Each structure stands twice: as C-alpha cells, then as structure tokens.
A and B are shown apart, each in its own frame.
Chain A
Amino acid sequence: MRLSQSDYQLIPVYEYGLLINFNIQFSDPAYIQQIKFEIEKKFKSVSIDFVPAYHSLTIHLLPPHVVTTIIMDIDSILRDFEWNEIEKEKALLNIPVCFADAFASDKKRICDLLHKDWATITKELTQQTFTVYMLGFLPGFAYMGMLPETLKLPRLESPRKKVAAGSVAIADLQTGIYPTDSPGGWNIIGRTPIPMFDLKNEQPTLLHVGNSVRYVEITEDEFYVIQNKPMQWKTQVA
C-alpha cells in the first residue's frame, strides 16, 4: 500500500509543530506507527516528540528548528512511503478487570441505556480484543477500540469530579482505563488492580499505541490479591 497526495495534509500548527492529517481511515494504528518510526529515524536530532492519534501524527520540533525547515522533507517521505505488511499475530495484553458493584459506578446507567443485564454486558466486553489507537488525556491513558455497536454509550452529561485510578470506562465506541485519580466523563464499568502508569518502570506506561488488549474478568477477592502483588499477574500472553 502506498500513499497518494490526496491521502494526507501537512498542516504547520505552530512555529515548532507539524500536523500530518490522514484522510484515510486506518484499520490498524500500526500504519501510523510505521510512518512515525520512519520520520523519527530521519528527524531525531531536530525533534522532541511524535504524537500519534487516530488519523494524525503531530511532530514537535526542537527549537530553534522551525516547521518550515522540515515540511518539504516530510512530504517527500510520505510520497515515497510504502508500508510493510502489518503483522496479524501481535502480542496480546490481558488486563484483569473486576465488574463488582463497588467498582462499577455506572452499572445502573449502563444497564438502563443498553437494555441488557450486567452479565450479558460484561461478557460482551470481555469477548472483544481491543487495539490501542492513541495515548493522551493523562499519562498512560490509552484510547482503545473499537467496541461493538451493541455497547455504544454516550459520555456522562457532566463529568465526574473524581474517577478512581484503575477505573475501566467506555464511551462511544472506545474504552479506556484511568491511570490516576482524575475527573472523567466516561461510563465506569469496572476496575483493574494493575497499574497503568508507574514511574518505577523503565517504560512508565503499561500500554502503547498498537498493543492488543483483552479484559479478563476477575472476582473482588482476586482483585485485592492482584492489587497486593501486581507483578504476579501475567499481563502479556504470547
């Protein structure tokens, strides 16, 4: 697969920032990741951050390198870009989630809006394999998708002042896990005892763009056991 000129736009967003907006719906974030690696390789010395999102990649440059100095080169990289085949078999991360009442603040709302019982809803959720499309909002907050249409819900009318760290939430066709206590407007369906953001780790965030993720149901007792010894939970499955 190759990009054509009409597949993307290059938008200088500020003196040191370039936004690449893709007009294609990518089936897999690995497509943007491949472009990101290619650009990162060539522009490492003049850039600071590469922020992938659903249909975009934002490049933050290292001052005093201004955006106009790279735009032509980025354009030629994209024009010549050819994707490698996307690996179908990717490492899968199993995240333990407890759906007990104590953790599912929006249980009633979710059941009412979806006209389904709790067991059906949580079963549907745990049968899915999600993909991490982007990180944002908070350190380590992964936007994952896609939920089946049967679990599609609007956000809360007004966000909660405080959502507990580890809360697993759904909104529209996305799911995410709050890494730290924070305000939040998504529907809370459960909680994981596994830390999503831990500065003690070399990689401070558990999830990264392109990861495949499944939710594995655990009981409340198991929740506290894993919370005490999160290292004993095998997140990664081959």
Chain B
Amino acid sequence: MENAGSLSIIKSGLLDTIRDKGRLGFRSVGIPVNGVMDSSAYFIANLLVGNAEKEACIEMAFPPAHIRFNNNLFFALAGANFDAHINNLPIQSGKCYQAKEGDILTFKKQVSGNFIYLSVAGGFLIDDVLASKTTNLKSGFGGWHGRKLMKGDTLVGKPSSFKPNTKIYVDYAHTRHTHSFIRCITGPEFHLLSAQQQNALFDFNFSIDKQSDTMAYRINGDKIFQHEISMVSSGVSMGTIQLLPDGNIMALMSDHQTTGGYPRVLQIIQQDIRMLAQYPYQKTFQVKRISLQEAIAVEEEDNLNRNNIARAYLKMVG
C-alpha cells in the first residue's frame, strides 16, 4: 500500500464539498445530479494524480479551508487561482505536488475564478450513496455526511501506486474565462418571447448577481423581461437559462433541480457553462446565439482535446 494518507480541515472554508461527476440515473425521481461547477478543472485535477475520471475531489469556493496533510500524499489543484500556498511557498494549479506530513495548504486571495478542485492520488475513501460520492447539500446526503467540510474533519485517501511527475504542468484554457460572451442555443420556450425580447437577449449586457449560488446564477441584464408566459413543469439541465416571473433571468448550475416550471429561454453550451461557473461577479458579458450543430462541434472538439491532453500527460508520466 503506497501513498494512502489523510488530510484534515484545520479551518473551515466558505463552501468546500466532496464532488464527483454527479449522481446519475435518479433524475426521474427528483434526485439531482449535484456534479461539479467546472467539469474541465475537475477533469484536470483527477488526471494530474492518475485518478479515474469520475473520482471524487474537493470543490472549494473562496475562501477555502486551511488543510493539513497528515501523511505524505500526492495532490493537485485545478480551476480557480486562489493564490495557493504550501506552508509559506506558493504553488501552482495544473501540477501534481507531494505533500509531506504536517504540510499546511492555504489560499491567500481570489485572483481569478470561483471554484478550485483538490484531488489526491487514489481519491478519497468515502461511501457511495446512490452510486456517487457527490454531496447533496439541500437534502443532506452523499459526500462527507451530506454537508460541507468543516474544521476537524479528516478525510482518508485510498491507496494508490500511481507515480506522478511533479514537474509537468498541464494547462487547460477552458478552466479560465477567455472571452466576454457566453454561447447559447435557444431553449424550448424561446419562441414565446416577443421578437423584441428575443433580440434583447443578444443585445443586453449581463452580469452575475451576488445572490448566486451553486443551484443557480442569478443574472442581471440591462432591463428586465416583462412577460406573462406560463408553462407546466418539465425537465431542465445545467446551463438552462430560465425566465423568472419577475422578469429576471437565471442560469441553472450544478445543484439545480431536476425539473422546472419557468420558461427555458436559452441553453448555455457545455464549454461556456464551465466558463460562466468561473466568471467574475459583476463583470459584464453578452449572449451569443449559435446553432445546435455549432454547439455540438465545439463539444466534440473539447472532448477530443481532453482525450489528447490525458493521453499526452499519461505518456509523459510513463
């Protein structure tokens, strides 16, 4: 048994939870996916320590917890830049590090992004609930006792014989926002908007409201969309943009419900959901309409890129 160790939370963070690809296969009985906010960063975090793609990581918002490594342990960070330090030395996202017993991981400031992923080689020893280790905070199950991590929690790693290469840096541009627009396809209720409102969606400047959380990002526009559109509840997904009765819009994020009763006017493409998840609050962006075919082309290229990155990394590690 190599590299099996543990880490402890020595100071609670704002919102640190165990997350994996999500609880899949239960949406028909109202059980949400509760996956990660930024699936690219999550993918990189697991890759760097040689984990399977669906291994659980810790997803952290700012300010994250302070973490003590109780044993020597390979770990990696990916996603937001929170100016991470091991003891008093700065460390980088996108690289694998070996923590020594007693090392303290802290995060000094929110430089960019909103969510960072911490992976450990082998993953965490946590029971599956309904085939997933991810946390459902709202109903209080899965992950670490169904709650966010708090001071005093000790997470044990699973044994791993992976020998990471701590010199390789893996960059994945999509884990950082690179443009000031999000690409969307139209949603099922888009056609119920007036022509003027449809155009406004692509003309307005938007920004993420401070009242946002992992269930939904509330989005402020130049004006509200007055409407009297009603619909019966129906399935929704991450990145669905709904029009609320008060005329505001919101984008559903990782902890969204399985169904919704608000008009689905737009749907963000997968790549830009991740970008929006990491997008700075109050910085403006625009919505750009693209076709389903274009959205699929972007996604397929993304999948290809990920596979290439994974192959190249594993080859270098040997």
Contacts and interface: CB of A to CB of B under 8 A. Distances in A.
B30 A136 contact: yes
Interface in A173-199: 179-180, 182, 197, 199
Contacts of A16: 270
Contact of B140 (A14, A140, A180): A180
A51 B258 contact: yes
Given A51-B28, A182-B138, A134 B233 contact: yes
Report which residue of B130, B136, B235, B239 has the largest number of chain A beta carbons within 10 angstroms of its beta carbon: B235
A180 B139 contact: yes
Interface size grouping (class) on chain A: 35 or more
Given A51-B259, A66-B296, A135 B233 contact: no
A31 B27 CA distance: 19
A204 B188 contact: no
Nearest to A71: B292
A94 B296 CA distance: 47
A11 B296 CA distance: 15
Contacts of B267: 13-14
B296 A68 contact: yes
A209 interface: yes
B24 A48 contact: yes
A92 interface: no
B188 A11 contact: yes
Interface string B265-280: 0010110000000000
Contacts of A19: 188, 234-235
Given A13-B187, A19-B188, A48 B25 contact: yes
B86 interface: no
A64 B300 contact: yes
Contacts of A68: 292-293, 296
Contact of A49 (B24, B188, B300, B303): B24
A204 B296 contact: no
Given A49-B28, A138-B138, A56 B235 contact: yes
A136 B234 CA distance: 9
B166 to A, nearest CB: 30
A81 interface: no
Contact of A204 (B31, B234, B257): B31
B195 interface: no
Nearest to A14: B267
Interface string B100-139: 0000000000000000000000000000011000001011
Contacts of A208: 29
A21 interface: yes
Given A17-B237, A19-B234, A136 B259 contact: yes
Nearest to B136: A139
A137 B188 contact: no
A53 B234 contact: yes
Contacts of A11: 188
Contacts of B292: 12, 67-68
B300 A204 contact: no
B287 to A, nearest CB: 15
Given A13-B264, A134-B233, A139-B136, A204 B29 contact: yes
A223 interface: no
A154 interface: no
Contact of B29 (A55, A56, A64, A205): A205
Contacts of B130: 199, 204
Contacts of B29: 135, 139-140, 204-205, 208
A230 interface: no
Contacts of B269: 14-15
Contacts of B37: none
A215 interface: no
A80 to B, nearest CB: 24
Contacts of A12: 185, 292
Interface string A1-23: 00000000001111111010100
Given A134-B259, A205-B30, 20 more contacts: A14-B269, A14-B270, A19-B234, A48-B24, A49-B28, A50-B28, A51-B235, A54-B234, A55-B234, A66-B296, A68-B292, A135-B30, A135-B259, A136-B257, A137-B259, A138-B138, A140-B30, A197-B139, A204-B31, A209-B28
The 10 A-B pairs with the shortest beta carbon distances in the complex, nearest first, are: A58-B235, A136-B259, A135-B30, A49-B27, A51-B235, A139-B31, A205-B29, A56-B234, A53-B234, A54-B232
Interface of A: 11-17, 19, 21, 48-58, 60, 63-64, 66-68, 134-141, 143, 179-180, 182, 197, 199, 204-205, 208-209
